[in-house]
Amino acid sequence: MTTETFEFQVEARQLLQLMIHSVYSNKDVFLRELVSNASDALDKLRLEKLRDDSLDADVSDLHIEIDVDKEARTLTVRDNGIGMSYDEVGQLIGTIAKSGTATLLKELKEAQDAAGAEGLIGQFGVGFYSAFMVADEVTLVTRRAGESQGTRWSSRGEATYTLETVDDAPQGTSVTLHLKPADPENQLHDYTSPWTIREIVKRYSDFITWPIRMVPEAAEGDSAPEPETLNSMKALWARSREEVSDDEYHELYKHISHDWREPLETIRLQAEGTFEYQALLFVPSHAPHDLFTRDFRRGVQLYVKRVFIMDDCEALLPPYLRFVKGVVDAQDLSLNVSREILQQDRHIRMMQRRLTKKVLSTVKEFMTKDADRYTTFWREFGTVLKEGLVTDSENRDAILAVASFATTRSDDEPTTLARYVERMKDGQEDIYYLTGESRQSIENSPHMEAFRAKGIEVLLLTDAVDEVWVDAVGEYEGRKLRSVAKGEIDLDAKGEEKADEEREKQAEEFAGLLGWMRERLDEDIKEVRLSTRLTVSPACVVSDAHDLTPALENMYRAMGQ
């Protein structure tokens, strides 16, 4: 048997250092993380066995076990789940693949104080590594279901870890923590005390659907005591609202999302009748760093009659709600249901419509009842929600109703379209907007001059998706959405109509200049015309009403089109 020594990836090493010097004040959460991993491993094994009956694995008594040894000061969390192969251990435990880790570490370096660092770690959640908050050495023994050889991983959390193969490893994974010396000041956090363990499991992991067992230490001369199951295993989504505390919901959210922060909102939904299901959805309080990357994983899990079927179930919610996390448990689906079947299933489509409406009505409720929550929501998820304006015509009005936009009227308070319309000037027919890279670049645009001079409000749209949805949507309650940079805009059309006579005179006066410009710029432009839209700048470039705007041109170019 040979032992190989490996170095942690740089990011992993930095995070481990933080764990060892534990800036995180609530160290109890290490157990939640280990139990959460064990539970995932059991879900995965049950599913793999369901898909492939020939898999050589025992699924008759899937469970999690916690053992404490006061003498040796060790704590072990064991599961008989899917396990890991030799290579997987190195990949999964030796590196941190989470996107955004580099950003986190940069911010951590800049955070001067422990409180700042703690906040940042809470944002990411560090999973398995949190074991090093309470342990000075961690050993993991694992065997992948179906394989005969096991692997032992061991580390003191410093620069390196070791890997070796083992011949007699049981199926699944056991993680043994060699606990740091006891803190005499703090009896509550003695992790060798069964009482402490029981409390922590109850608080953080009660809803885990697998039994979490603890074997009490045998008293002198007694026969081996019966293991005790610490959790109630009740699926939270199947219990009535009154029975479940907010904290319990939040712990489920953390288990599913791998986010350590509280969610912004918990949404419950029960459907009875021909197609029965229960849903428990969570709106996070922060957008994840990888929300706009191609391989972003969605967070809705599908269960069938309490059995976990899949993570990341894309059939349950439309792409623009991909930030929503949660569980949907359906009664009448086959355990063997595949993603392809789900995409075509009529009941699933109805479920998707209902869940979508429920999420949108929740946002509407934030808006009418809780301005702070609405502001947070829109800041974090407004950009992604606007994708729905393009892709979900059925809910377009519902999305428009909860959307808000930066406006020339206020530096920091966005406006809804309804408010904009209320404030429109007498004679103003259309809703004006301008798209651009940033608020500042838009405000400096010469297109804005006449609007500013006349005190007409303009929406300032800076997200790439804005270019697309304004075209797709076109109007709001009969009011056209008009770019101030496109086509002819005659702000004098109503009210103070300029005398045609005066215009003609001006046209004559400038005919020479316009002709000359037309000649010089022939290659680059379609037309030169006099405009009433400028007050300070001598000239500006305008595109045709149907042309691509510059930002959209850039976007398409970037996409290689």
Pick what 283 binds: ligand ADP, Mg ion, none; C-beta below 5 to 8 Å, kind-dependent. Answer: none
Residue 88 Cβ vs ligand ADP, minimum distance, rounded to whole Å: 7
Instruction: List the single partner that 481 binds among ligand ADP, Mg ion, none, CB under 5 to 8 Å by kind.
Output: none
Per partner kind, with CB cut-offs from 5 to 8 A, the member of ligand ADP, Mg ion, none near residue 79 is: ligand ADP
Q: Minimum distance from CB of 537 to ligand ADP (Å)? A: 53
Question: What whole-number distance in Å separates Cα of residue 275 and Cα of residue 270?
Answer: 11
Q: How far is the CB of 334 from Mg ion (least distance, A)?
A: 29
Task: Write down the least CB distance from residue 83 to ligand ADP, Å.
Answer: 6
Asked whether position 258 contacts ligand ADP by CB under 6 A, the answer is: yes
Task: Choose the contact partner of 407 out of Mg ion, ligand ADP, none; CB within 5 to 8 A by kind.
Answer: none
Q: Least distance (Å) from ligand ADP to the CB of residue 9? A: 13
Evaluate whether 8 touches 159 at the Cβ level (below 8 Å): yes
| Nearest distance from C-beta of residue 128 to ligand ADP, angstroms | 3
Pairing of strands 3-7, 277-283: unpaired
Give the shortest CB-22-to-ligand ADP separation in angstroms.
Answer: 16
Instruction: State the minimum distance, in angstroms, from the CB of residue 65 to Mg ion.
Output: 18
Q: Does 155 bind Mg ion (CB under 5 A)?
A: no
Tell me if 65 contacts ligand ADP by CB under 6 A: no
The one segment of 78-86, 212-220, 347-355, 438-446 that binds ligand ADP by CB under 6 A: 78-86
Q: Per rule CB under 6 A, is residue 210 in the interface with ligand ADP?
A: no
3 state SS of 426: coil
Given the rule CB under 6 A, which of 35-43, 54-62, 263-271, 380-388 is the region that contacts ligand ADP? Answer: 35-43
Which residue stretches of 129-218 are H helix?
194-205
Of 30-38, 47-55, 345-353, 441-449, which segment contacts ligand ADP by CB under 6 A? 30-38
Residue type, 529: R
Please list, in sequence order, all residues whose beta carbon lies within 8 angstroms of the beta carbon of residue 429, skipping any fewer than 6 positions away: 479, 480, 494
Half-sphere exposure of 534 (CA within 13 A, CB side): 13
From residue 494, alpha-carbon distances to 83, 425, 426, 428, 519 in Å are 73, 11, 9, 8, 34
Residue 127 or residue 436: which is nearer to Mg ion going by CB? Answer: 127
Which of 34-42, 266-274, 354-362, 449-457 is the region at the interface with ligand ADP (rule: CB under 6 A)? 34-42
User: How many chain residues interact with Mg ion (CB under 5 A)?
Assistant: 2
Number of residues that bind ligand ADP (CB under 6 A): 15
Distance CA 370, CA 378 (A): 12
Q: What is the CA radius of gyration of the chain?
A: 30
Q: How far apart are the first and last CA of the chain?
A: 56
| Rounded least distance, CB 257 to Mg ion, Å | 11
Minimum Å gap between C-beta 121 and ligand ADP is 13
How far apart are alpha carbons 253 and 259 in whole angstroms? Answer: 8
- Of the candidates 269, 96, 59, 261, the residue with the CA atom closest to the CA atom of residue 171: 59
Stretch 20-49: interaction string toward Mg ion, x if CB under 5 A? -----------------x------------
C-alpha distances in Å from residue 144, one per residue of 46, 105, 150, 151: 13, 32, 7, 9
In this complex, which beta carbon is closest to ligand ADP, that of residue 125 or of residue 436? 125
Q: Of the candidates 33, 65, 387, 466, which one interacts with ligand ADP according to CB under 6 A?
A: 33
- Cβ-based neighbours of 448, under 8 Å, separated by 6 or more: 408, 434, 442, 458, 484
Whether the CA torsion 541, 456, 407, 362 is positive or negative: it is: negative
Residue 448 identity (one-letter amino acid): M
- Among positions 16, 74, 120, 127, the unique one binding Mg ion when judged by CB under 5 A: 127
Decide: 330 and 351 in contact? Cβ < 8 Å: yes
Q: Which residue has the tokens 């749209």?
A: 461
How far is the C-alpha of 420 from the C-alpha of 458, rounded, in Å? Answer: 9
User: Reduced to 3 states, what is the DSSP secondary structure of residue 422?
Assistant: helix
331 HSE (CA, 13 A, CB side): 11
Count the helices and strands in the chain (H runs, E runs).
Answer: 18, 20
* 255 lines the binding site for ligand ADP (CB under 6 A): no
Q: How far is the CB of 254 from Mg ion (least distance, A)?
A: 10
Q: Which of the listed partners (Mg ion, ligand ADP, none) does 38 bind, with a CB threshold of 5 to 8 Å by partner kind?
A: ligand ADP
Q: Taking CB under 6 A as the rule, does residue 46 contact ligand ADP?
A: no
Is 98 or 447 the residue whose CB approaches ligand ADP more closely?
Answer: 98
Task: Compare residues 84 and 491 and give the one whose CB is closer to ligand ADP.
Answer: 84
Q: How far is the CB of 46 from ligand ADP (least distance, A)?
A: 13
84 belongs to the binding site for ligand ADP (CB under 6 A): yes
**CB closer to ligand ADP, 83 vs 299:** 83
Q: 255 vs 37, 249, 304, CA distance in Å?
A: 9, 10, 19
* Residues 103-162, interacting with ligand ADP (CB under 6 A): 127-128
- Residue 130 as a binder of Mg ion (CB under 5 A): the answer is no
Q: Report how far residue 243's alpha carbon sits from residue 216's, in angstroms, rounded to the nearest whole number.
A: 29
Nearest 10 degrees: CA dihedral of 199, 205, 207, 210? -110
Residue 462 as a binder of Mg ion (CB under 5 A): the answer is: no
Q: Which residues bind Mg ion (CB under 5 A)?
A: 37, 127
Residues in touch with ligand ADP (CB under 6 A): 33, 37-38, 41, 79, 81-84, 92-93, 127-128, 173, 258
